[in-house]
Amino acid sequence: MAQTVIIGTGSKVPSRVVTNADLEKMVDTTDEWITTRSGIKERRIVTAGETNSYLATEAARRALEAADLTPQDISLIIVATMTPDMPMPSVACLVQKNLGAIQAGAFDISATCSGFLYALTVADRFIKADPRQKILVIGSEVLSAKVNWQDRTTCVLFGDGAGAVVVTGSQEGDRGILTTHLRADGSLWELLTLKGCGSRYPIDSDLPREEFFIRMNGREVFKNAVRAMESVALETLAEMGLKGEDLDLLITHQANIRIIEFLRERLAIPAEKVFINIHKYGNTSAASIPLALDEAVRTGRLKEGDLLLMVAFGGGFTWASVLMKW
């Protein structure tokens, strides 16, 4: 059977850099607090005209270029996002228009920070059904529009950006996606929310203003994130008869350096096999894994034949893993 392979990666981040020193002027915080609690030193924030669909389109163009394909070669565009330009139309449709991908279907996936791995898993099943297809899978977020810039407990954590991959089927060797796992626990939804703008709370409802922004119980999110990511990672490795030491690279959702470090220790993976770029971009939700993936490819950290484990966790709660041979 054909395996799903990634044949091109791309990314796009806004040019505006907001450092921890910049945030010190906006809220009661310090570079030291942000760095030790999260590992973040700076993040990219959009300026006028840089919409989610613009970032997604530019990341997609770069992935197409890397794959040596044209937009007309694409049969499906899947965008993982929790910050679309607007509820309707989808970001995927705007990307389809921007690219002129006239043969493509297009839809968005909502699985918060796990969204890219959910989207990649869906694309994997499409490829299994028809390995000739070429599918664009994009994670793209403008979280700065949904962050309360007066709330120091959240505004220091997030950033904007987009990453994209092109997938297709391959019969060659054992390269490609080996196994995927999707999980969710909606009973914990209230620990991480963005309530405003949904249909439950119309514009004239009495929902407090702060509920129109991302709200979270940081400690509970932290606890659940480490537990869930460890369990899905161990389940994935066990299913394939592998140990952490067999991996060549671990790319996790870049939410917090302490979560990544915890997972690294539990999986017994040496530090040099864990990809980290949270210090540059903060938490970019669904964009964080494809952003990291593109950087890992372009800097030579990820090489053909490498065993790569990707693990994510986010609001919902959702969590997921994808294991692949690069």
Could you list the active site residues? 113, 253, 283
Among 95, 255, 323, 324, indicate the residue that binds ligand ACO (CB under 6 A): 255
DSSP element (H, E) containing 152: helix 152-155
Secondary structure of residue 22 in the 3-state scheme = helix
Give the shortest CB-158-to-ligand ACO separation in angstroms.
8
Give the shortest CB-254-to-ligand ACO separation in angstroms.
8
Q: Which residue is nearest to ligand ACO (CB)?
A: 218
| Residues contacting ligand ACO: total by CB under 6 A | 23
Residue 24 and residue 30 in contact, taking contact as beta carbons nearer than 8 Å:
yes
Cβ neighbours of 51 (radius 10 Å): 19
Give the shortest CB-171-to-ligand ACO separation in angstroms.
37
Give the shortest CB-9-to-ligand ACO separation in angstroms.
21
Site string for ligand ACO, 7-46 (x = CB under 6 A): ----------------------x---xx--xx--------
Closest to 307 measured CA to CA, from 240, 247, 239, 263: 247
Separation CA 70–CA 288 (nearest Å): 25
Pick the closer one to ligand ACO by CB: 9 or 284.
Answer: 284
DSSP element (H, E) containing 318: strand 318-325
Closest to 311 measured CA to CA, from 193, 180, 222: 180
Give the shortest CB-224-to-ligand ACO separation in angstroms.
9
Pick the closer one to ligand ACO by CB: 209 or 219.
Answer: 219
Structure tokens that stand for 10 in this block: 């791309």
User: Under rule CB under 6 A, which residues in 177-216 are in contact with ligand ACO?
Assistant: 192, 216
Among 107, 212, 222, 262, indicate the residue that binds ligand ACO (CB under 6 A): 222
Secondary structure of residue 148 in the 3-state scheme = coil
DSSP element (H, E) containing 215: strand 215-216
Please tell me the total number of residues recorded for the chain in this structure: 326
User: Under rule CB under 6 A, which residues in 278-317 are in contact with ligand ACO?
Assistant: 283, 313-314
Secondary structure of residue 274 in the 3-state scheme = strand
Contact residues: ligand ACO, CB under 6 A: 29, 33-34, 37-38, 113, 152-153, 156-157, 192, 216, 218-219, 221-222, 225, 253, 255-256, 283, 313-314
